Structure 1
Amino acid sequence: MPRQKLRAGQLGTIQTLVLPSGRIQARALLCDDLGVQHRLKASAVTEADAVGDLHTKADALRHATGGAQLTRDSTIAEACEVFLRDKEESGLVEDSTVEAYEASVRNVVIPACGDLLLIDLSVRRCNRILTDIRTDLSLSSARKARSVLSQTCAIAIEHEVLMHNPVRDTRRLPLPEKKESVLTPGQLLIVQDLIRGWRTGPGHSGPRPNVAILEDAMWIMVGTSVRIGEVLALRRTEVDVTTKTPMARFDGTIRYTKKQGLHRKNAPKRTRQKRRIALPSFSAAAMRRRLAVTDSEPEAYLFATRTGKPLSVSNYERLLRTFVDDNQAALQAAGIDVDDFSTHIFRRSTATIVEAKAGIGLASRLLGHADEQVTRRSYVVTEELVDPVTADIMDDAFVDLL
């Protein structure tokens, strides 16, 4: 009877023999993940050690040909490690996204359920885990954990450990509360005046903050609705203020990752969001001010450090937070919500103004969204007052009846 062929990943019968030296040798065939058979040998003082070393070599060869293998004994923590390795090795996920997954795994998922066997992650248990995370940490943490767990279960299905993904059947988590704060043109002028007068009065010692960077970036964000990282990624070569209609091409963003450090990514948040935007007069004026103090090289950044490197998003946001803290009373007096005053308020304000004048379609294109519902749900703040023309329409409908 012919010997049964080994299946992928299977280790054949282990045989042992005593070597002339007195050591014990264990040997067996291993069929790797691609179906190729390998003769493995391992020797040690005792038979148990030799067999153990052979299994270690078999595991290493399986990993080399097919990656880490999940089994029915794998925990969620072990499965998450395989998920993270898969994302990192795929080359399809940005470093910043992988780092966000790692933070969620390390700080949220593993503390919540890392020791649970993967096969025991039922819909009921998953609902309980996500509810506890939401209660103990935050809704945002629960939403990120749900994404990680769902993708980890997808990996487990690929490894034939799970037959279905229990996370997909869990109760939906609520969406984050929509932020409603926007700035009117009048309020933006007040912010400009406060920036220009920031720390200029008596009683302020030490170097003055670079208010020009703060103001110019603000007006570019307001005029184009782009993100702060896209503004800081602007170089001379992407700006043309000599034409009748000044234009800027936004085709990059400034990122920081542990792996690459501070760098320019040659695409916005998503590659499809590259776009050329006509500049309103106040944004063009801000661009001209930046060009006047920028190095003459075509690749020079409009917002650069003294060494010519791009300004980081965190440094700009830190400068903005300091400004808000120092001018809290004046901002509140102008009706501005200081708790929601971040770079995103400029983007949201622009989207709201454009949508009110030209509709959701143009606002969505300006923001670079593929789906208008994203613009409506997260950026446009709808006016409480419905257009009074509805009253005229209804009066006309009943004019001959009442």
Structure 2
Amino acid sequence: MRTRRGQGNIRRQVRTREDGSKHIFWEARPYVTDRTGMRKRLCIYGASCAEVQDKLVKLRSHQFDDFRVARLWLSDYLDTWLATIKSNRQHRTYELYEAAVRNHVKPNVGTVRLSELRRDHIRDLFERKMSSVGSRMKQVVYRILSSALTAAVEDDIIMKNPCLRKDKPRHTPGELTFLNKEQALSLVEAAKGEEHYALILLALTSGMRQGELFGLLWSAVHLDGGYLMVRAQLTKDQDGNPALTAPKASRARKVDLPAITIAALRSHQKLQEPKGPWVFADINGEPLSEDRFVRNHFHPLLKKAALPHIRFHDLRHAAATLLLAAGENVKVVAERLGHSSAKMTLDVYAHALPTLQKPATAKIDEIFSNRRLDGRLKDKQTL
């Protein structure tokens, strides 16, 4: 099929695959000239002649756009993309994205032209340049690049997204840090009489996320009923001020409370001054600062209890592993934690609890014990 002068002919191509099947596609090889005067030949493919023709029209429109795309750095485009999504992301998520772009993308591939970004750049970024970075951060960077480049395709800035799903980094679970039963009891004992005893106890007995604990309102706590509702988490808005948003799973959940925690919360509510809507508040009645609490109260408490240095969030891991080690049903644990499925709970915690294999082995041994097998053999011989 003939096209405009300089756009090249659109040709039907047939390739034979290794299995003998035929792959039919359409191809055009137009010339383009960038702003520097350099003339290049491109290869454009499509499943139909019309698809290739449409791509040629888009390509031609880009050439008349003062070659803006041809000269746009990836780092500059990501700055624009971040500004675009800022109002649609939670403050912490935006901060995570901005830091990931600043620390990992810009130093490694930021100086690549957006129009020249290829799959090889993406693979080299994850396999070589970010080889020492944790798998979670690699997944964050992949998610950023995939979303940003998809937006670039949708806005007709580039023709194809080079960030392919097959190149998505896999998450390799790291070592979880959690307290065992004796350590958890030591922490609770050390916290007795302290200002934030109820907070420590609730974290260990509920498995709530850090933001859910600090964003807890008295209106969600039903002490007479022995439960609380997790409906929100404390985050920060775009100005860095405290704000309540939906919990991570975006749905409310009920968490039943043990008697010791109910008693601690009753005492905490009675002594709390000034009275206000927040369960855990500062002297001004505002939500308790997470960073300040960890620095001024939690870390000194660990030292007092002679415990290793852990994050406050690790109390959530302790709550989960203690329940699983006690034989609690994994589905029940998943519901308390707010996980979307029991599989997610097992993926996170199963490898951290090798001792769970011992009870299972004992049960199997009981089922197939020699005594029971011998008895069955004797019964058969009698018959």
User: TM-score higher than 0.5 here?
Assistant: yes
User: Does residue 240 of structure 1 match 2:238?
Assistant: no
User: Does residue 366 of structure 1 match 2:336?
Assistant: yes
Kindly state the Cα deviation for residue 137 of structure 1 after the two structures are TM-superposed: 5.0
Give secondary structure in 1 for the equivalent of 2:358: coil
2-structure distance, mates of 1:126, 1:147 = 12
Give secondary structure in 2 for the equivalent of 1:249: strand
Aligned ranges 1:3-402 → 2 under 5 Å: 71-89=69-87, 91=88, 93-135=89-131, 137-169=133-165, 171-196=167-192, 211-213=194-196, 215-241=197-223, 243=224, 245-257=225-237, 259-272=238-251, 274-295=252-273, 299-318=276-295, 319-324=297-302, 326-327=303-304, 330-331=306-307, 338-339=308-309, 341-356=310-325, 357-380=327-350, 381-382=352-353, 383-387=356-360, 388-395=362-369, 400=377
Give secondary structure in 2 for the equivalent of 1:254: strand
Kindly state the Cα deviation for residue 185 of structure 1 after the two structures are TM-superposed: 3.5
Relative to structure 1, is the Cα distance of residues 178 and 111 closer, same or farther in structure 2, using a 3 angstrom cutoff? closer
1-structure distance, mates of 2:68, 2:209 = 40
Return 5+ residue gaps in structure 1 as ranges: 1-57, 60-68, 198-210, 332-337
Kindly state the Cα deviation for residue 164 of structure 1 after the two structures are TM-superposed: 3.4
Match of 1:22 in 2: none
2-structure distance, mates of 1:109, 1:180 = 27
Contact 1:238 1:249 in 2 (8 A): yes
Which residue identity lines up with residue 222 of structure 1 in the other structure?
A: L
2-structure distance, mates of 1:75, 1:397 = 73
2-structure distance, mates of 1:176, 1:322 = 32
Return 5+ residue gaps in structure 2 as ranges: 1-63
Kindly state the Cα deviation for residue 118 of structure 1 after the two structures are TM-superposed: 1.7
Kindly state the Cα deviation for residue 317 of structure 1 after the two structures are TM-superposed: 2.1
Kindly state the Cα deviation for residue 79 of structure 1 after the two structures are TM-superposed: 2.2
1-structure distance, mates of 2:343, 2:70 = 41
Q: Which moved more, 1:262-271 or 1:301-310?
A: 262-271
Query: TM-score, normalised to structure 1's length?
Result: 0.68
Contact 1:195 1:323 in 2 (8 A): yes
Kindly state the Cα deviation for residue 181 of structure 1 after the two structures are TM-superposed: 3.6
1-structure distance, mates of 2:359, 2:68 = 57
Query: TM-score, normalised to structure 2's length?
Result: 0.71
2-structure distance, mates of 1:104, 1:240 = 40
Contact 1:290 1:303 in 2 (8 A): no
Contact 1:70 1:159 in 2 (8 A): no
Kindly state the Cα deviation for residue 172 of structure 1 after the two structures are TM-superposed: 4.3
How many residue pairs were aligned?
A: 306
